[in-house]
Amino acid sequence: MSMKIHAWIARQLPISRREAEKRVGDGIVSVDGSVAKIGQIINGDEKVTMNGQVIEASECQRRLLVMNKKVGWVCSMAEQNGQDSVFNYLPKLKKGKWMLVGRLDLNTSGLLLVTNNGYLSNCLAHPTSGFEREYLVRVSKEISPVMRKELLTG
């Protein structure tokens, strides 16, 4: 499967695509002995090195979890302002990393999908996928007809 070099590196190492792209831009990544370029497309069977160390291609087991996010948990990798991160409650992965399919606000609870498959995460979260989402909202004051229309249209 063809993909950009930084996306491939992020799949193999516990770093973000943005960090992988930075390392490619810094000139420390090589593909088959040549310095990699930002945006370069690879097939995954090339010899990729970073700082002279070979990055081994690995297929990790794809997983999809359903989580009941509690009020007070943040949907970010790190705790913020003393609030727990949802990632604190996920099983540890030997390879790859967890990705959230969408997000829920700090003061929101409910179903949250978590996967280690970036392609699946993007497909499920992107509006063009056509997956319908339904939300139950509690408000503290009466909603005007204009506000109601805005909520219903998204």
CB-count burial class (<10 Å; 0-12, 13-18, 19+) for 140: exposed
* CB contact set of 26 (below 8 Å; sequence gap of 6+): none
Judged against a pLDDT cut of 80, whether residue 23 lies above it is answered with: yes
pLDDT reported for residue 60:
66
pLDDT of residue 96: 76
Confidence of residue 39 (pLDDT cuts 50, 70, 90): very high
- Model confidence band, residue 28 (pLDDT cutoffs 50, 70, 90): very high
Q: Distance (Å, rounded) from C-alpha 51 to C-alpha 45?
A: 19
- Residue 41 CA from chain centroid, whole number: 20
- What positions carry a catalytic annotation? 105
Instruction: Report CA Rg, the chain.
Output: 20
Please tell me the least confidently modeled range out of 38-47, 82-91, 104-113, 128-137. Answer: 128-137
Strand partners, 113: 66, 101
pLDDT at 27 over 70: yes
Distance of CA 115 to the CA centre of its chain: 8
- The predicted structure's pLDDT at residue 44: 78
51: confidence class by pLDDT, cuts 50, 70, 90: very high
The string of DSSP codes covering 38-91 is TT-EE-S-S-EEETTEE----PPPP-EEEEEEPTT-BSSSS-BTTBPBGGGGSP
pLDDT in tens, 60-109: 678 899 999 999 999 988 888 889 999 999 999 877 789 899 889 998 99
Reported as a single tens digit per residue, the pLDDT across 5-20 is: 998 888 788 788 899 9
Q: 28: which 2 tokens?
A: 């420390």
Q: Hey, CA dihedral for 119, 125, 127, 129, is it positive or negative?
A: positive
